[in-house]
Amino acid sequence: MSLFPKKNLFCLFDSVVPSRYILKFRKFVFFEPFMGNDIANRGRLSHYGCDRRKEFAKNLRKIRKETELLLEDIEAYHIYMAVKKTQKVPGDIAEVGVYKGGSAKIICSAKGDKTLHLFDTFEGLPKVDDIDMVWPFYEGKFAASYDSVRNYLKEDSNVHFYKGIFPETAGPIEDKRFSLVNLDVDCYESTKSCLEFFYSRMNPGGIIISHDYITAPGVKKAFDDFFEEKTEPVLETAGSQCLVVKV
Ligand SMILES: C[S@@+](CC[C@H](N)C(=O)[O-])C[C@H]1O[C@@H](n2cnc3c(N)ncnc32)[C@H](O)[C@@H]1O
């Protein structure tokens, strides 16, 4: 057994240089191209002129001031548009991986009257497997205050919270159908159990979107394995997401 298991090294490094500062630093134009993130860089919403995108960008700036949001602008826009465009699909919306409520707030800005179910341990990532051990993912990372998140979203209607490890908390939504599911759980086991739970409950035309398909090997493996024998292709998008439209 190593004296310095990866998890401890990640924790130590993360407490010295928190990952959120690295992500901000990465956005400097002179630095980002060297890290291979120039697609996301070129795709910044500020490069687009249409009114809807300007409105979205204004709201996104507001959300970033109110809370910590772990998405690129373009990734946030993917979620926003997916929610808007699936309003015509019957069913509820769910998010697993809420953290401080930033992505949930984006969903709320586009969902209309739809019901939104929000799942998180609020104690950070559960046990991670070896495949998930890439910085900055380790057990306990991304803990957030349940009460603060509830308070942050208190003005938004038809929003339900479930605290604990998914799918142990999924009982109340077992009989529901879904139009949109946003996954942001960073690791293999969580992603796999989310896909197993939600896939058969998606209505045709419904969208499953996930963060970290590019950045977290466990997320990519869970999607690629699950959809290998299925009809639906897994679409890798700009930024680090993937999405699947249920046939
Ligand atoms: C990266 S954060 C989510 C970030 C958020 N979506 C945003 O954009 O700001 C990942 C979250 O997934 C949660 N999580 C991971 N696996 C989970 C599981 N099986 N059940 C509940 N929550 C889980 C963690 O607690 C953590 O808050």
pLDDT > 70? residue 122? yes
Residue 32 has pLDDT above 90, yes or no: no
For residue 231, the SS3 value is: coil
First to last CA, the chain: 47
For residues 54 and 37, the model is more confident at 54
Residue 223 has pLDDT above 60, yes or no: yes
| Ligand 1 center from residue 50 Cα (angstroms) | 32
Domain ranges of the chain: 30-245
Q: Is 16 left (phi over 0), alpha (psi -120 to 50) or beta?
A: alpha
Give the residue, by CA position, lying nearest to ligand 1 atom 12: 97
pLDDT band at 146 (very low <50, low <70, confident <90, very high): very high
Q: How does residue 53 score in pLDDT terms, banded at 50, 70 and 90?
A: confident
Residue whose Cα lies nearest atom 4 of ligand 1: it is: 99
Tell me if residue 8 falls in helix, strand or coil: helix
- H/E stretch holding 204 reads strand 202-210
Work out whether strand 242-245 and strand 235-236 pair parallel, antiparallel, or are unpaired: antiparallel
Higher pLDDT, 35 or 14: 14
- Please name the residue whose Cα sits nearest to atom 11 of ligand 1: 97
Superfamily of structural domain 30-245: Vaccinia Virus protein VP39 (3.40.50.150)
Q: pLDDT for 57-104, tens place per residue?
A: 899 999 999 999 999 989 999 999 999 999 999 999 999 999 999 999
Say if residues 60 and 45 touch (Cβ distance below 8 Å): yes
**pLDDT at position 37:** 43
Per-residue confidence band for 52, with pLDDT thresholds at 50, 70 and 90: confident
pLDDT at res. 23:
57
Residues 6+ apart with CB under 8 A from 124: 139, 140, 141, 142, 143, 144
CA 220 to ligand 1 centroid distance, Å: 16
> From residue 4, how far is each of 11, 12, 30 by CA, in Å?
11, 10, 34
